[in-house]
A and B are shown apart, each in its own frame.
Chain A
Amino acid sequence: MTRKLLFTVFVLISLHALGQEKVTLNGYVKDASNGEELIGVTVFIPQLKAGAVTNAYGFYSITLPKGTYEVQYSYVGYTFQTVTVELEKDLANNIELASEATFIKEVVVTDKRIDENVVSLQMSKNTLDLTQVRKLPALFGEVDIIKNIQMLPGVLTAGEGTSSFYVRGGSADQNLILIDEAPIYDPSHLFGLFSVFNADVIKDSELYKGGIPARFGGRLSSILEVRTKDGNNKKVSVAGGIGSMASRVMVEGPLKKDKSSFIISARRSYVDLFLRAADQDNLVHFYDINAKVNWKYNNNNRFFAAFYSGRDVFNFADDFGFAWGNKTATFRWNHLFNERLFSNTSVIASNFDYKLEVKDPVQGFKWTSNLQELSIKYDLSYFINTNNELSFGYHITGRRFSPGKIAPNTEGSIFSEVEMQHMYALDHAFYISNQQKLSERLMLDYGVRLSIFQNIGTSDLYLYEDPRDNINVQRTDTVHYGPWENIKTYVNVEPRVGIRYIVGEGQSVKVSYNRMVQNTHLIAAGTVPVPFNTWNPSGYYLKPQLADQVAVGYFRNFKSNMYELSAEAYYKDIKNVTDFADNADIFFNQDLSTEFRQGKSWAYGLELMMTKKEGKLTGSIGYTLSKAMRKVDGVNLDRAFAANYDRRNVVNIQAAYDMNEKWTFGANFTYSTGRPTTLPTGKFEYQNYNPDVITERNGYRLPAFHRLDLSATLTPRKNANRRWHGQWVFSVYNAYNRQNPFTIYTRTKKNDDGDVIGDGRTKEARMVYLFPILPSVTYNFKF
Chain B
Amino acid sequence: MKNIFIVILLSVVFMSCEKTVLLDLNQNIPRLVIEGQVTNQPGYQYVKITRTTGFYEEGESPAVEDATVRVTDDLGNEFVFTHNPGNLADSAGIYLPETPFTGVIGRAYKLTVTTDGEVYEAEDAMSQVTSIDSLASRISTDEQDDPKDFGRFYEVLMYAKEPQNSTDYYLFKFYRNDSLKVYNDTHIYYADDEVLGENIDGVPSPIYYAPGDLARVEMYSLTRNGFVFYNDLQSLLNSDGGLFSQPPSNSRTNLSNGAVGFFQASALEIKEIVIKE
Which B3-26 residues have C-beta < 8 A from chain A?
4-5, 8-9, 12-23, 25-26
- B235 contacts the other chain (Cβ, under 8 Å)? yes
Q: Chain B residues with Cβ under 8 A from A762's Cβ?
A: 56, 58
By beta carbon, the residue of chain A nearest B162 is A414
**A683-B4 contact, Cβ under 8 Å, with A526-B244, A528-B244:** no
A471 touching B21, Cβ below 8 Å: no
Q: Chain A residues with Cβ under 8 A from B57's Cβ?
A: 683
- A91 contacts the other chain (Cβ, under 8 Å)? no
Q: Chain B residues with Cβ under 8 A from A745's Cβ?
A: 239-241
Instruction: Choose the segment among B28-36, B71-79, B96-104, B112-120 that binds chain A (4+ C-beta atoms closer than 8 Å).
Output: B28-36
Partner of A362, one of B58, B203, B236, B246: B203
By beta carbon, the residue of chain B nearest A741 is B21
Q: Chain B residues with Cβ under 8 A from A583's Cβ?
A: 228, 231-232, 235, 246, 249, 251-252
**A693-B186 contact, Cβ under 8 Å, with A415-B195, A527-B242, A678-B242:** no
Partner of A275, one of B14, B22, B56: B14
Chain A interface bracket (under 10, 10 to 19, 20 to 34, 35 or more): 35 or more
Expressed in whole angstroms, the Cα–Cα distance for A279 and B235 within the complex equals: 31
- B201 contacts the other chain (Cβ, under 8 Å)? yes
B16 touching A770, Cβ below 8 Å: yes
Partner of B19, one of A582, A691, A767: A767
Q: Chain B residues with Cβ under 8 A from A743's Cβ?
A: 240-243
**A416-B195 contact, Cβ under 8 Å, with A700-B23, A745-B240:** yes
B241 touching A472, Cβ below 8 Å: no
A742 touching B195, Cβ below 8 Å: no
By beta carbon, the residue of chain B nearest A473 is B224
Q: Chain A residues with Cβ under 8 A from B51's Cβ?
A: 684
Partner of A683, one of B5, B55, B196, B228: B55
Q: Chain A residues with Cβ under 8 A from B23's Cβ?
A: 679, 700, 744, 765
- A739 contacts the other chain (Cβ, under 8 Å)? yes
B232 touching A587, Cβ below 8 Å: no
Which A355-377 residues have C-beta < 8 A from chain B?
356, 358, 362-363, 365
Partner of B12, one of A191, A526, A684, A690: A191
By beta carbon, the residue of chain B nearest A317 is B142
- B60 contacts the other chain (Cβ, under 8 Å)? yes
Q: Chain A residues with Cβ under 8 A from B130's Cβ?
A: none
A756 touching B185, Cβ below 8 Å: yes
B236 touching A692, Cβ below 8 Å: yes
- B211 contacts the other chain (Cβ, under 8 Å)? no
B27 touching A769, Cβ below 8 Å: no
B61 touching A684, Cβ below 8 Å: yes
A471 touching B242, Cβ below 8 Å: no
Q: 0/1 per residue, A271-302, Cβ < 8 Å to B?
A: 00011110000000000000000000000000
A691 touching B58, Cβ below 8 Å: no
A677 touching B242, Cβ below 8 Å: yes
Q: Chain B residues with Cβ under 8 A from A322's Cβ?
A: 8
Q: Chain A residues with Cβ under 8 A from B82's Cβ?
A: none
Partner of A408, one of B25, B197, B200, B249: B197
Q: Chain B residues with Cβ under 8 A from A679's Cβ?
A: 23, 25, 241
Expressed in whole angstroms, the Cα–Cα distance for A761 and B53 within the complex equals: 11
Q: Chain A residues with Cβ under 8 A from B13's Cβ?
A: 742, 768, 770
- A600 contacts the other chain (Cβ, under 8 Å)? no
A763 touching B185, Cβ below 8 Å: no
**What's the minimum C-beta distance from A633 to chain B, rounded to whole angstroms?**
15
- A94 contacts the other chain (Cβ, under 8 Å)? no
- B199 contacts the other chain (Cβ, under 8 Å)? yes
- B85 contacts the other chain (Cβ, under 8 Å)? no
**A527-B243 contact, Cβ under 8 Å, with A693-B31, A762-B58:** yes
**What's the minimum C-beta distance from B254 to chain A, rounded to whole angstroms?**
9
- B54 contacts the other chain (Cβ, under 8 Å)? yes
**A765-B50 contact, Cβ under 8 Å, with A412-B201, A526-B243:** no
Partner of A682, one of B4, B19, B20, B52: B52
**What's the minimum C-beta distance from B218 to chain A, rounded to whole angstroms?**
12
Expressed in whole angstroms, the Cα–Cα distance for A560 and B178 within the complex equals: 84
Q: Chain A residues with Cβ under 8 A from B20's Cβ?
A: 764-767
Expressed in whole angstroms, the Cα–Cα distance for A745 and B236 within the complex equals: 10
Which B213-243 residues have C-beta < 8 A from chain A?
224-225, 228, 231-233, 235-237, 239-243
Partner of B25, one of A412, A526, A681: A681
Q: Chain B residues with Cβ under 8 A from A691's Cβ?
A: 233, 236-237, 251
Expressed in whole angstroms, the Cα–Cα distance for A413 and B228 within the complex equals: 25
**Secondary structure class of chain B's binding surface, majority of residues:** loop
A746 touching B195, Cβ below 8 Å: no
Expressed in whole angstroms, the Cα–Cα distance for A743 and B51 within the complex equals: 29
**What's the minimum C-beta distance from B104 to chain A, rounded to whole angstroms?**
22
Expressed in whole angstroms, the Cα–Cα distance for A686 and B228 within the complex equals: 15
- A238 contacts the other chain (Cβ, under 8 Å)? no
Expressed in whole angstroms, the Cα–Cα distance for A277 and B11 within the complex equals: 11
Expressed in whole angstroms, the Cα–Cα distance for A356 and B5 within the complex equals: 10
Expressed in whole angstroms, the Cα–Cα distance for A415 and B196 within the complex equals: 4
- A406 contacts the other chain (Cβ, under 8 Å)? yes
- B260 contacts the other chain (Cβ, under 8 Å)? yes
B195 touching A418, Cβ below 8 Å: yes
- B277 contacts the other chain (Cβ, under 8 Å)? no
Q: Chain B residues with Cβ under 8 A from A693's Cβ?
A: 28, 31, 52, 250, 260
A415, A679, A686 pick with most chain B CB within 10 angstroms: A686
**A685-B25 contact, Cβ under 8 Å, with A416-B197, A678-B242:** no
By beta carbon, the residue of chain A nearest B224 is A472
B203 touching A682, Cβ below 8 Å: no
Q: Chain A residues with Cβ under 8 A from B237's Cβ?
A: 689, 691
Partner of A471, one of B2, B18, B22, B252: B252
Q: Chain B residues with Cβ under 8 A from A760's Cβ?
A: 185
Expressed in whole angstroms, the Cα–Cα distance for A415 and B200 within the complex equals: 9
**What's the minimum C-beta distance from A466 to chain B, rounded to whole angstroms?**
14
Which B42-56 residues have C-beta < 8 A from chain A?
50-56
**What's the minimum C-beta distance from B18 to chain A, rounded to whole angstroms?**
5
A532 touching B18, Cβ below 8 Å: no
B55 touching A682, Cβ below 8 Å: yes
Expressed in whole angstroms, the Cα–Cα distance for A266 and B243 within the complex equals: 31
Expressed in whole angstroms, the Cα–Cα distance for A292 and B244 within the complex equals: 35
A682 touching B28, Cβ below 8 Å: yes
**What's the minimum C-beta distance from B17 to chain A, rounded to whole angstroms?**
6
Expressed in whole angstroms, the Cα–Cα distance for A274 and B246 within the complex equals: 28
By beta carbon, the residue of chain A nearest B8 is A322
By beta carbon, the residue of chain B nearest A767 is B21
Q: Chain A residues with Cβ under 8 A from B261's Cβ?
A: 684, 686
Q: 0/1 per residue, B150-187, Cβ < 8 Å to A?
A: 00000000000010000000000000000010100110
**What's the minimum C-beta distance from B245 to chain A, rounded to whole angstroms?**
5
Q: 0/1 per residue, A723-744, Cβ < 8 Å to B?
A: 0000000000000000100111
Q: Chain B residues with Cβ under 8 A from A274's Cβ?
A: 14-15
Expressed in whole angstroms, the Cα–Cα distance for A764 and B23 within the complex equals: 9
B4 touching A768, Cβ below 8 Å: no
A689 touching B185, Cβ below 8 Å: yes
Q: Chain A residues with Cβ under 8 A from B228's Cβ?
A: 471, 583
Q: Chain B residues with Cβ under 8 A from A418's Cβ?
A: 194-195
Given contacts A158-B243, A275-B14, A693-B52, 13 further A-B contacts (CB under 8 A): A362-B201, A415-B196, A416-B196, A472-B225, A525-B245, A530-B9, A682-B54, A684-B33, A686-B262, A694-B249, A694-B250, A744-B241, A756-B185
What would be 13 A-B contacts, judged by CB atoms less than 8 Å apart? A412-B202, A413-B197, A414-B203, A530-B5, A680-B248, A683-B52, A683-B55, A686-B35, A689-B185, A690-B185, A698-B247, A760-B185, A768-B13
Interfacial residues, chain A to chain B (CB-CB below 8 A): 158-159, 161, 191, 274-277, 322, 356, 358, 362-363, 365, 406, 408, 412-416, 418, 471-472, 525-528, 530, 532, 580, 582-588, 644, 677-695, 697-700, 739, 742-748, 756, 758-772
Nearest 5 CB-CB pairings of A with B: A682-B28, A525-B246, A416-B197, A582-B249, A743-B241
Interfacial residues, chain B to chain A (CB-CB below 8 A): 1-2, 4-5, 8-9, 12-23, 25-31, 33, 35, 50-61, 162, 180, 182, 185-186, 188, 194-204, 224-225, 228, 231-233, 235-237, 239-252, 260-262
